[in-house]
Amino acid sequence: MALSLASVLSKSEDVVGSDHSSVVSINLFVALLCACIIIGHLLEENRWMNESITALAIGLCTGVVILLTSGGKSSRLLVFSEDLFFIYLLPPIIFNAGFQVKKKQFFRNFMTIVLFGAVGTLISTGVISIGAMHFFKKMNIGSLDIGDYLAIGAIFSATDSVCTLQVLNQDETPLLYSLVFGEGVVNDATSVVFFNAIQSFDLSHINSSVAMQFFGNFLNLFVSSTILGVLAGLLSAYIIKKLYFGRHSTDREVALMILMAYLSYMLAELFYLSAILTVFFCGIVMSHYTWHNVTESSRVTTRHAFATLSFVAEIFIFLYVGMDALDIEKWKFVSHSPRTSVGVSAILLGLVLVGRAAFVFPLSFLSNLTKKSSYEKIDIKQQVTIWWAGLMRGAVSMALAYNQFTISGHTQLRGSAIMITSTITVVLFSTVVRHYLICV
């Protein structure tokens, strides 16, 4: 059994999408998803565990099993694919977050959220980039140019909205939830602009006109993405209301809502906008307008179907990150110099802490100046929680790291391999350790 499994799995590495080996992978993946749900449910009474930690753990275990059965050749069922992540898994999660978000709370803090997401991300990126440049130049970790350092800053400034959803509770701490989650969404728009800027601007000559252009780009992207999402939501509401869809069929209403939300995401991708921002606002508009125009059974169905989709996608991501963490190819480079690798990970973790502190406290202070009632102000305890809760780095960081440092899922250079493994270390460490610290 072990042998035949190994031979099938080593095949699946080469030709994903081929006949029988992909069937084996899908079977294993779906079975593991079921296991995560059941075990996550059984452990729910236990405050130390939840579905995402379970999924991470099961993913790691599966990785070990595959690694052993394949004789140390492979630990993955599928090569990490950005497409899979950005085209299929992320849209339902972010859409559902917009669909279920408490709108009143979100819009009351809108300016603060944008401040955190835009200015804060830039500050954090700057701190991490400069810090990385300072420390890594003295270490022997292969060649990294200024673009790579800025990319490192952007990667480790990406607050993971997916993880945030798992940790903060919207009903218990609505203010913190809306601030940290909203920041994560706006953060994405900043990242898109930033990544484009790294690739298109001449980074050796940064002057005020480049900075102005950068600011203009961000504003343009932010406004266009939001408008696209709002328009898609309003259009779905108009069509469903005007054409009396519910008169005939619940299924059509639900199908149309899902398809139009997905269309808004893909259109944003098409025009190089921030798809996360678009689908988030589409979710908000749909829950505010479209949802009230559909039949009663459509309301129940959409509320739960969207939540289910998002739930499955989240578990899928955690399972995947856990499984991918053990990929042998990347660790090969690292095993020659374990100390360097541990050092890099530790430095990055430290920089993440400092970079986040560098904007949360000053910006909270600024934000408090504009608020009159003390009730609306962010007190120091809440500031610490915001700093702390947004530290988690997750699937988005992983995807960005893969984008910058690999060529079609394979790691080629020593420096890139160290960066990928450090990203994994930081993601695993921040997710697991933070989870336990919050439980305590």
Q: Residue 31, class by beta-carbon neighbours within 10 Å (0-12 exposed, 13-18 middle, 19+ buried)? A: exposed
One of 6, 24, 61, 231 touching a copy of itself (CB under 8 A): 24
Regarding 225 and contact with a copy of itself (CB under 8 A), the answer is: no
Q: Which of residues 141-170 bind a copy of itself (CB under 8 A)?
A: none
Distance (Å, whole) CA 379 – CA 375? 9
Dihedral sign for Cα 204, 207, 210, 215, please: positive
Q: Is 201 in the site for a copy of itself (CB under 8 A)?
A: no
- Among the residue ranges 26-34, 159-167, 199-207, 418-426, the one whose residues contact a copy of itself (CB under 8 A): 26-34
Cα first-last separation, the chain: 43
Name which of 399, 287, 266, 421 is nearest 343 in CA terms: 421
**What is the residue type of 234?**
L
**Residue 23 binds a copy of itself (CB under 8 A):** yes
Task: Give the Cβ contact number of residue 9 at 10 Å.
Answer: 21
By the rule CB under 8 A, 300 interacts with a copy of itself: yes
Which class for 217: exposed (0-12), middle (13-18), buried (19 or more C-beta within 10 A)? middle
Taking contact as CB under 8 A, which single stretch among the options 122-130, 246-254, 325-333, 357-365 is the one that binds a copy of itself? 246-254
CB of 184 to a copy of itself, least distance (A): 21
Span near a copy of itself by CB under 8 A; candidates 107-115, 217-225, 302-310, 360-368:
302-310
114 binds a copy of itself per the rule CB under 8 A:
no
Choose which of 3, 65, 146, 255 interacts with a copy of itself (CB under 8 A): 255
Note whether 251 binds a copy of itself by CB under 8 A.
yes
Task: Output phi, psi for 407, to 5 deg.
Answer: -115, 115
Q: Quote the tokens at residue 425.
A: 């270390």
Q: Which of 134, 304, 371, 410 binds a copy of itself (CB under 8 A)?
A: 304
311 binds a copy of itself (CB under 8 A): yes
Residue 196's contacts (CB-CB under 8 Å, 6 or more residues apart) are 217, 272
Can you tell me the distance from the alpha carbon of 434 to that of 430, in angstroms, rounded to the nearest whole number? 5
Task: Count other C-beta atoms under 10 Å from residue 314's C-beta.
Answer: 23
The answer to the question of residue 17 lying near a copy of itself (CB under 8 A) is yes
Site stretch for a copy of itself (CB under 8 A), options 107-115, 127-135, 181-189, 306-314: 306-314
Q: Is 360 in the site for a copy of itself (CB under 8 A)?
A: no
Asked whether the beta carbons of 142 and 413 are under 8 A apart, the reply is yes
Q: What are phi and psi of 410, to 5 degrees?
A: -115, 135
SS3 state of residue 168: coil
Distance CA(83)–CA(11), nearest Å, equals 21
- If the CB atoms of residues 33 and 67 are measured against a copy of itself, the closer one turns out to be 33
- The answer to whether 308 contacts a copy of itself (rule: CB under 8 A) is yes
Residue 407 in the binding site for a copy of itself (CB under 8 A): no
**Residue closer to a copy of itself, measured from CB, 26 or 111:** 26
The answer to the question of residue 197 lying near a copy of itself (CB under 8 A) is no
Among 2, 3, 15, 38, binds a copy of itself (CB under 8 A): 38
Give the one residue of 33, 43, 133, 432 binding a copy of itself; rule: CB under 8 A: 33
- Of 102, 252, 288, 377, the one binding a copy of itself by CB under 8 A: 252
What span, in angstroms and rounded, lies between the C-alpha atoms of 217 and 116? 18
Nearest to 371 by CA among 176, 110, 103: 110
Query: How many positions of this chain bind a copy of itself (CB under 8 A)?
Result: 49
Size of the chain, expressed as the number of residues it contains: 440
Question: Coil, strand or helix: which one is 410?
Answer: strand
Q: Is 22 in the site for a copy of itself (CB under 8 A)?
A: yes
Residue 328 in the binding site for a copy of itself (CB under 8 A): no
CB 94 within 8 A of CB 161: yes
Asked if 248 is part of the footprint of a copy of itself (rule: CB under 8 A), the reply reads yes
Residues engaged in binding a copy of itself (CB under 8 A):
17, 19-20, 22-24, 26-27, 30-31, 33-34, 37-38, 41-42, 44, 83, 87, 239, 243, 245, 248-252, 254-256, 258-260, 262-263, 266-267, 269-270, 297-298, 300-301, 304-305, 307-308, 311-312
